[in-house]
Amino acid sequence: MISVAEALERLFALVAPLEPETVPLRVAAGRVLAEDATALRDQPPFPASAMDGYAVRGDAVAPGARFTVIGEAPAGRRFAGRVGSGEAVRIFTGAPMPEGTDRVVIQEDVTREGDMATVTGTPGPGPHVRPAGADFRAGDRVAAPRRLSAADLALLAAMNLPEVRVTRRPSVAILSTGDELVMPGEAPGDDQIVASNVFALAALLEAEGAEARILPIARDTESSLRAGLQLAQGADLILTVGGASVGDHDLVAPVAAALGMDTAFYKVAMRPGKPLMAGRLGASAMIGLPGNPVSAIVCGTVFVAPVIRKMLGLGAAPAPRLTAPLARDIAANGPREHYMRARLGPEGLEPFASQDSALLSLMAEADALLIRPPSDGPRAAGETVEYLPLPRP
């Protein structure tokens, strides 16, 4: 068995960032910017009023100063003339500053009678003007790689970019194996269960930016598994779920080997998730996940999600770990790295009493995976431990 860290290194070696593609800005949310985006104009493109008020020459502003209002400048339409001494233009937020002005006296500091505006009280320091290019200049860049947020899309739109270059979404084919499985909605036999892992894995990987495809269940025969793997051809990543151990009905390894899989590793010193395998099958990377529901989800979080992030151009890095105090004492750990389902509360992390890898109900309640290093000694309440956060709606 190899360590979790070594398994990740070998997995990262199996994949590379995918090629870029151009998409409209409207559908770029959550995509990974593959090439720097360059602003096509200054923002703002002109000195602009930051407030509603009156645009004047700043050196003429004083309590009691009077100005003749000679026009108006709403947002989107500048005042065409030049403003001279003793004159003002009624201006609104976002409008271009008229020629000859450099200050806005806000409307709360002005009394208006007809065409005469009088500064009342003591006006603030001003100038309430946004300089041209105060936000960004033409030629400024948004650096890649970067997962595009809502604010990023607003910035790119303001840069006058209708489309962007993003990394192509990795295509992932997910293949469950086992005679005991049926799909949700089907009528299970007396000795069968409903396939669940593939739905968690598809959701997890789509949240990372992949395109997941759930294949029909492969039965415990070489011909069925071979047919399933052939259906997966063309995917950037193939995930098999179940059948990766060494029992008489665990056929993934021998069938994949017969199809030409170049194996990178088999078995990882962790729990849950020891029967993990990986390699390359033709043009696809392939990861064989254990069939236990919790094991598959944990391995998806620890291994597959970071692989997807590398394929998207976000670098080769483990899932980011956080720290928190323990909410209760825990016993010593065994020889394998342990990812314990836990709940994060006001007192810290509290691992569930049962860590049975078949209990999906506890997986659904957990919001963290408490990480126990191999052969870690007993830990007391209040000690700081590492954990992986689990996404919650």
What confidence score (pLDDT) does residue 244 get? 64
CA distances, 371 to each of 323, 336, 342, 347, 360 (Å): 10, 11, 10, 17, 19
Residue 393's pLDDT is what? 65
Q: Could you list the mean pLDDT of each consecutive 10-residue stretch along the chain, which spans 393 residues?
A: 96 98 98 98 97 96 96 95 96 97 96 96 89 97 97 98 98 95 92 92 96 95 94 96 66 90 94 93 95 93 98 96 97 96 95 90 94 96 96 74
- Alpha carbon distance 42, 56 (integer Å): 24
CA distances from 321 to 94, 230, 274, 370, 386 (A): 44, 37, 21, 10, 6
Distance from chain centroid for Cα 20: 18
Is the alpha carbon torsion for 97, 100, 101, 107 positive or negative? negative
- For the four alpha carbons of 257, 259, 262 and 263, in that order, the dihedral sign comes to negative
* Parallel, antiparallel or unpaired: strands 337-345 and 284-289: unpaired
Amino acid residing at 62:
A
**pLDDT at 358 (0 to 100):** 85
Peptide bond into 44 cis (omega under 30): yes
The pLDDT assigned to 245 comes to 60
CB 279, CB 18: distance < 8 Å: no
pLDDT in the model for residue 225: 94
170 three-state secondary structure: coil
pTM above 0.85, yes or no: yes
Measured distance CA(64)–CA(334) in Å, rounded: 82
